[in-house]
Amino acid sequence: MQPVQTISFSPAGDDSAPGQSWQSQLSGAIRDPKALLAAVGLDERWLPGAEGGHQAFEVRVPLAYLSRIKKGDPGDPLLRQVLPLEHETHAVAGYVTDPLEEADHTPMAGLIHKYATRVLMITSGACAINCRYCFRRHFPYEDHAASRAQWGKTLDYLRDDDSLIEAILSGGDPLVSSDTRLAWLVGELDAIPHLKRLRLHTRLPVVIPDRVDDAMLEWLANTRLQKVVVLHINHANEIDDSVMKACERLRSVGVTLLNQSVLLRGVNDDVTVLRALSERLFEAGILPYYLHVLDPVAGAAHFNVPDSEAMALHDSLGEQLPGFLLPRLVREVPGDRAKTPVRADSLRQASD
């Protein structure tokens, strides 16, 4: 199952590139395994595996992100995040379609209410990029239509529960939605008196930095809510000058920038790489927030780093960075009321 698109995408491989509107860049994303291999300079030996993975979860790579990938290098850490592989078609014990059991925490379509004081709205069923390790790669977005009517029902839910202080827009990627729709939605959230914060979970400012345009900055600047944007960056090479600029623009309207990464085999499972990531994030005005261990989603087992290795890496990282640049090493445990520190979870498992 693949995310439902709330936008229409054109065939891959056109000439769209940074400098065009973000919408054109979005519609010009590569969506074909063969086109991806050609664009990154890999030969057709990779094709059967790429097509197999693509059947399970379709390829999607915007050209702005592609431009940061070293050509002809199958081990490039950015390419590994987006290149489908045959491993994805293997069933592995313990790897399932809904690793976080989100289906148990959806009081209504389009809304996930798992933690106290905050709710997550599925604002869009599409992403600008399809990350191979995504824990929502099997999420039934078609059951969570991001229509204005659906948003109306979730807004009623938020109005009726005055224990809520934070609304989180997620997806998919909420910034795939148009600024007209987002401005309307944020205006409605703004009018709910008990809400204090607006949070966006997005990878768009990283993969298509031109998404941070004047129209977006306008609705962000106009809300009374405190604004937090949680980006998703796994490797320092993802942060080029265009991403730096996008971050600067977000900060100019009062946005606090945080980052969550996923610890991924072959991408960032190395203390030097993780240290460089934290340093580069801070240069961009982003605080490292979480380093997640992989959620056991079907098709992504080849990215897993065992807990013992993750904890050793995190310890080494802590010896090399100031505390404010050290992300918390966590996992999501279905049923827990907050993110669970991996060390605590390990001790819990050992005592069970």
Residues of the shown chain interacting with ligand SF4 in the complex, contacts defined by CB under 6 A: 127, 129-131, 134, 136, 173, 203, 232
The minimum distance between CB 247 and ligand SF4, in angstroms, equals 17
The minimum distance between CB 134 and ligand SF4, in angstroms, equals 3
Which residue blocks in 99-253 are alpha helix, DSSP H?
148-160, 179-190, 204-207, 214-222, 241-252
Cβ proximity to ligand SF4: between 189 and 208 the closer is: 208
Report d(CA 326, CA 88) in Å as an integer: 31
DSSP three-state, residue 337 = coil
Cβ proximity to ligand SF4: between 271 and 289 the closer is: 289
Cβ proximity to ligand SF4: between 88 and 173 the closer is: 173
Report d(CA 325, CA 317) in Å as an integer: 9
Are 98 and 63 spatial neighbours (Cβ–Cβ below 8 Å)? no
Cβ proximity to ligand SF4: between 25 and 130 the closer is: 130
Cβ proximity to ligand SF4: between 39 and 200 the closer is: 200
The minimum distance between CB 137 and ligand SF4, in angstroms, equals 7
Report d(CA 81, CA 129) in Å as an integer: 10
314, 264, 262, 252: which is closest to 290 by C-alpha? 262
281, 162, 169, 295: which is closest to 233 by C-alpha? 281
Number of Cβ atoms within 10 Å of the Cβ of 183: 17
User: Which residue matches tokens 């059951």?
Assistant: 143
DSSP-assigned letters across all residues of 213-255: -HHHHHHHHH-SSEEEEEEE--SGGG--HHHHHHHHHHHHTTE
Task: Dig out the tokens for 88 from the structure.
Answer: 């994805």
The minimum distance between CB 299 and ligand SF4, in angstroms, equals 12
Assess whether the previous peptide bond of 172 is cis (omega < 30° from 0): yes
Q: Let me know the angle formed at the C-alpha of 305 by 327 and 45, rounded to the nearest 5 degrees.
A: 120
Q: What is the CA radius of gyration of the chain?
A: 19
Are 67 and 92 spatial neighbours (Cβ–Cβ below 8 Å)? no
User: Which residue matches tokens 């261990």?
Assistant: 293
The minimum distance between CB 232 and ligand SF4, in angstroms, equals 6
Report d(CA 121, CA 198) in Å as an integer: 11
Cβ proximity to ligand SF4: between 3 and 321 the closer is: 3
The minimum distance between CB 136 and ligand SF4, in angstroms, equals 5
Report d(CA 118, CA 11) in Å as an integer: 38
